[in-house]
Amino acid sequence: MRNDSITTFGVSEIQRRFLAAEARHAQLAPHLQRSVCLLPAGVDLGRLRQVFAQVSQLQDAFRTSFERGPDLFTFFQHVQPEGGLQLDEQAFDGSADELVQALNHGPLFDQLHPGIDPFGPPPLARGSLLQTQDGVTALALSVHHAIFDGWSAAVLFGQLIELFEAEDAAACLPGIRARFDPYPAFVEHERQTLQGERLATLQGFWRDYLANPPGVAADHAAAAALSLGQEGEVRHTEIALPAEVVQRLDALAGAHRLTTHVLLLACMQWAMAAGNGELDVLTSTPTRNRPARFAETIGCFVNPVIVRQRMDPQRSLLDNLTALRGAATAAYRHGAFPAARVVRELFPELLRQRIPLASSWFAIQVGTATQEVQQRHQFRLLNLAAGRAMGAGFALELRPVDGVLRGPFLTRRHFDPDHLAPRRFLDLVQALLSDPRQTLAQAWRRPLSN
């Protein structure tokens, strides 16, 4: 619907999840996707600002705002015909590496970009150009998750580079625009997917897949610690898997028709089970959820999928991995059903008690640019931890940096009183690499490293 050149339409189920949470609980921190792109010394900032404004106009996200409807689950979004995101400019008293550390682990992002109200005026984003003492320019970006996801960061910076190196950026815009469909088309695609026989198939799968869910009901007191406002003490451990370890994991995965994602998801779930004895584990993990025609659309597409592992300590690590691969593949195949609706429609009692169905979160961020592109343009793009795991008892979110996988492992006192899960995770990675045919029980019996 258009009104005075403003386009108005409904929201996707993915957007509704974030908007409903913030509409009901205004005291919570907003859901933000944060990224930083390190640019080479001497970059033409004037041209960068120009092409950023062009992408802001090209993509609807930076001209979008939201409005509450008559109930807690109805929202509308409005796209303004003009506007976009303006970049401020500041100096940073430190090196580029120190800047990344300050953005990722300190309060700098919050100081640069205070909370963004999704029901405020557009743009629902903040951007800063930060000059470091070693001559690097960093573009720091905070965007509300209702209009942006991790893959959108890759899209944004890819289009920025394409326009930046073009002789005539304005002439390139129609060609870029023709490569993707706008977000309203995804809202309609999702609506058509979630009806009739397809909807019944998705509901039936998740009802069977998650029958008799573990953990949540087994320890109600611990699960209740995850209810909003009672999340319990959180401890962070920075995990780093060296490039050599990542290469060995990739080789092991390739040799057994697995993926590194499945290997590390399994190690995390095994680490949890070693501590609490729960052999049936549910973990949320994000999926792209982007049909091909939206591959270059900036927007909120990512949908968490719950992956269930029923592990057997007497079987080998490889056998357990093979079973997990099957369970994960089935879940991903039915990932079009929004995670929020899985809980709302199939487990409403958990929603009423504000208890999550899956008490753990695992993610490996997608590569945001190929090594060749990064080398050619001398830039590094990092999606920083976005706080999506703040409702989980265990959470691990890894990101690739120069061949190394690193990121925070979060544990809550109610679920891991001795805070041993991060150490167990690293030990289980090594156990898997040393002898994947040993049983899970044998791997658990290995003494903890220091």
Q: What is the CATH number of the domain that holds 425?
A: 3.30.559.30
Q: Is residue 193 part of a domain?
A: no
The answer to whether residues 170 and 218 belong to one domain is no
pLDDT tens per residue, range 297-339: 999 998 899 999 999 999 999 999 999 999 999 999 999 998 8
The answer to whether residues 220 and 165 belong to one domain is no
pLDDT tens per residue, range 38-83: 887 778 888 889 999 999 889 999 999 999 999 888 999 999 998 8
The answer to whether residues 120 and 269 belong to one domain is no
Q: Is residue 189 part of a domain?
A: no
The answer to whether residues 20 and 143 belong to one domain is yes
Could you list the residue range(s) of the whole structural domain that residue 175 is in? 2-179
Domains in the chain, number: 2
Query: Residue 73 has what pLDDT?
Result: 84
Q: Rounded mean pLDDT of 135-143?
A: 90
Q: Which of 25-29, 202-206, 361-365, 408-412 has the lowest mean pLDDT?
A: 25-29
Distances from the Cα of 319 to the Cα of 70, 323, 329, 425, angstroms? 51, 6, 16, 18
CB 438 within 8 A of CB 410: no
Q: pTM of this prediction?
A: 0.85
Closest CA to 13 of 396, 248, 338, 230: 338
Distances from the Cα of 181 to the Cα of 54, 102, 155, 299, 301, angstroms? 17, 37, 13, 11, 13
Q: Is residue 137 part of a domain?
A: yes
The answer to whether residues 142 and 75 belong to one domain is yes
The answer to whether residues 97 and 17 belong to one domain is yes
The answer to whether residues 164 and 249 belong to one domain is no
Query: Residue 4 has what pLDDT?
Result: 56
Query: Residue 425 has what pLDDT?
Result: 97
Start-to-end Cα distance in the chain: 61
Q: Is residue 39 part of a domain?
A: yes
The answer to whether residues 101 and 224 belong to one domain is no
The answer to whether residues 253 and 112 belong to one domain is no
Say which CATH number the domain at 80 has: 3.30.559.10
Q: Which residue has the higher pLDDT, 414 or 389?
A: 414
The answer to whether residues 247 and 396 belong to one domain is yes
Q: Is residue 324 part of a domain?
A: yes
**Distance separating alpha carbons of residues 235 and 167, to the nearest angstrom:** 50
**Distance separating alpha carbons of residues 127 and 226, to the nearest angstrom:** 32
The answer to whether residues 68 and 149 belong to one domain is yes
The answer to whether residues 171 and 217 belong to one domain is no
Q: Is residue 331 part of a domain?
A: yes
